[in-house]
Amino acid sequence: MSLRIYQNATAVITGAASGIGRALAIELARRGCTVVLADRQFALAESIAAVILSNGGKAWARELDVCDYPALQVIVDEAVANTGRLDYMFNNAGIGIGGLAEDYELEDWNTTIDVNLRGVTNGIQACYRLMVDQGYGHIVNTASMAGLIPAASQIAYSATKFAVSGLSQALRVEAEIKGVRVSALCPGAIETPILTGGVYGRLPKGITPEKATAYWAKLHPMPVAEFAEQALDQVAKNVPLIILPGRWRGLYWIYRLSWDFWFNRAKKDLARVLRLTQRR
């Protein structure tokens, strides 16, 4: 047997009730994949699964906190028991707790690390040996441009996303020997709830959802459905770092080639944030 792209494949998606996870689930189902939607927002995940079923797709929803490894393992095992395979594991769940480092409480660090990093390692632990035994599979971890370029005023988020991008690149080398693929999604500005804090995250102090919307509007966020389509096209091609929108690749290379240029630009961006929070 081999990896299926995407017809008659099986995929588990964490954080599937909204944003990128939701869009991936809908697009995967449209392409013929059986989709398992795992999320803390269970009712919302169920409603999306119902829409997929009504459109002739295959899907079911399960309640999940990605910090709960045993529960995640049960979901992966159930997917394999029901379909006989696991082609894709999308470790997508994530939160953003924004703010300056001086504003963080210990719980902010712990929560961000638990969800954004440990949620990914739990997903890998739940599926990797199974994929190795199969001889195929594709692990797709949602990192961020903030995991390739440091994001001031999003320090905890950036730290965890750098860890996810580094983990993904290191695991890709090891996994390829076993026939397993690994990619990292590195979205720039995408039209998702995280731009205004999300359900479980938080904007920096002094920034309202309206201010955040205006701030991100200048970066022309990509529609999330468009992101999902292009991301899955690149997953199919086994691209290691999937940077979307494409124009963000230029910024990544500027950072890699000229740290001083990026640093000066980052200070200007931080000044914009401080103005929004009415701090100097």
What are 53-105's pLDDT values in tens digits? 999 999 999 999 999 999 999 999 999 999 999 999 999 999 999 888 888 99
pLDDT band at 244 (very low <50, low <70, confident <90, very high): very high
pLDDT digits (tens, 9 = 90+) for 169-211: 999 999 999 999 999 999 999 998 887 777 888 887 777 778 7
Report d(CA 132, CA 53) in Å as an integer.
30
Q: Report pLDDT for 275.
A: 76
Percent above pLDDT 70 for the chain? 99
59-76 b/e with 16+ CB inside 10 Å = b?
bbbbbbbbbebebbbebb
pTM for this one? Answer: 0.93
Gap between the Cα atoms of 267 and 236, Å rounded: 37
* Angle in degrees, 0-180, between the axes of helices 155-176 and 119-134, rounded to the nearest 10: 10
As annotated, the active-site residues are 157
Q: Report the pLDDT value the prediction gives residue 270, as an integer from 0 to 100.
A: 78
Rg (alpha carbons) of the chain, rounded to whole number: 18
Domains of the chain, start order: 10-248 (3.40.50.720)
How would residue 213 be classed by pLDDT, with cut points 50, 70 and 90? Answer: confident
Residue whose token pair is 């080639």: 257
